[in-house]
A and B are shown apart, each in its own frame.
Chain A
Amino acid sequence: MFSRGAAVLLYQPQWGQVRNMATLKDITRRLKSIKNIQKITKSMKMVAAAKYARAERELKPARVYGVGSLALYEKAEIKVPEDKKKHLIIGVSSDRGLCGAIHTSVAKAIKTEVSTLSDAGKEVMVVGVGDKLRGLLQRTHNKHFLVTFKEVGRKPPSFGDASVIALELLNSGYEFDEGSVIYNRFRSVISYKTDEKPFYSLDTVAGAESISIYDDIDADVLRNYQEFTLANILFYSLKESTTSEQSARMTAMDNASKNASEIIDKLTLTFNRTRQAVITKELIEIISGAAALG
């Protein structure tokens, strides 16, 4: 619309008006399309609000689960020995866009992590949960990608999803020493924060000094616990991530609807002004024609 107006402006500079007599038909067409867009964004906001309510409800028990499973790592203060080389980064996001800065914040965190770790001389592999991450990081970090997962975000995540991811990681053959999960932690309806939670391999945990405090732990129990914790961390981060995503989408669509309403108001005013101008022009033509005759 603007480009056509600008082109006409170039050819006929003596037309003084800025929008160059965008005809009533153009304005009507534009008004109709923006009204449709506003309807769509409003309905997307409603859908996102419903999904957000459900996701937040399901997040409460998942949070307890996730925080509980991470408690061992925090309490035991497991530190990775400095010579460990292999690192794994799992970025948790989703497939669908129109949700604000959800995907870009996770991708940015992954990029900084990869660069710091590569500079420190470690070998890094990236796992992307969600197609958007693959799209964002493919061009620059293609050789770092271990595997990606899609069909995330369509339905609320379940522990089955987390198990699939965990199984794939365990069977992938990439023996990592340390890893971290980067996800968007849900803080409130209007805010989320990109967070990073570490997880360790079996050898690291078994080799930590403080493990010997714990009673009745042998190699098998620890191995089971490690595998289960991996699935647990993924489940927790998936739940948090979907809740953040739905709330961000709700906010984004709300802003889009508000912007659309503003444009509609402005365009309606322009439409009325143009309509009156057209009527005035016709009147002037008629009157000057009549004056010329008589």
Chain B
Amino acid sequence: MGRFLIGCRRVLRPFLFRCALTLAPGGPGTAAMVAYWRQAGLSYIRYSQICANAVRAAMKPQYKAEAEKAAVATIKIVKPKKE
């Protein structure tokens, strides 16, 4: 009986997957665990940036300086002029 259920889940997984996809990230899906930061509106990149900053702030001083230097972003955005 247990094995039947497991097999059933494997067949059903793509369907569960598709169901989860159609839902907006705001609401919890049938099988999807939407992360708290995603619900708050952050993207994964922003989330990892915040985590990385927290880790850097917690480092020991001799490693902190190198980490800060390696993490600086110098790039600038240029929006094309609207004609």
What residues make up the interface of A, taking CB atoms closer than 8 Å to B? 129, 131, 134, 142, 145-152, 154-155, 157-161, 163-168, 170, 206, 211-212, 217-220, 223-224, 227-228, 230-231
Contacts and interface: CB of A to CB of B under 8 A. Distances in A.
A131 B49 CA distance: 26
Given A150-B76, A150-B78, A155-B74, A227 B44 contact: yes
B43 A168 contact: no
A134 to B, nearest CB: 7
Interface in B55-82: 70-80
Interface of B: 13-14, 17, 20-21, 23, 25, 29, 31-35, 38, 43-46, 48-49, 70-80
A147 B81 CA distance: 10
11 contacts: A129-B75, A131-B78, A145-B80, A148-B78, A150-B76, A158-B72, A167-B45, A206-B21, A212-B14, A220-B33, A227-B44
A145 B78 CA distance: 11
A161 B45 contact: no
B76 A151 contact: yes
Contact of B29 (A146, A170, A217, A219): A219
Contacts of A131: 78
B6 to A, nearest CB: 13
Contacts of A164: 73, 75, 77
Instruction: Classify the secondary structure of A's interface with B.
Output: helix
B79 A151 contact: no
> Which residue among B21, B31, B71 has the maximum number of chain A CB atoms within 10 Å of its CB?
B21
Contact of B75 (A151, A170, A228, A230): A151
A161 B29 contact: no
A161 B13 contact: no
Contact of A219 (B20, B49, B70, B71): B20
Contact of A170 (B13, B17, B25, B43): B43
Most buried by B among A131, A163, A227, A228: A163
Nearest to B76: A151
Nearest to A159: B71
Contact of B72 (A145, A148, A160, A167): A160
Contact of A228 (B13, B14, B48, B76): B48
B3 to A, nearest CB: 18
B43 A149 contact: no
Contacts of A154: 74
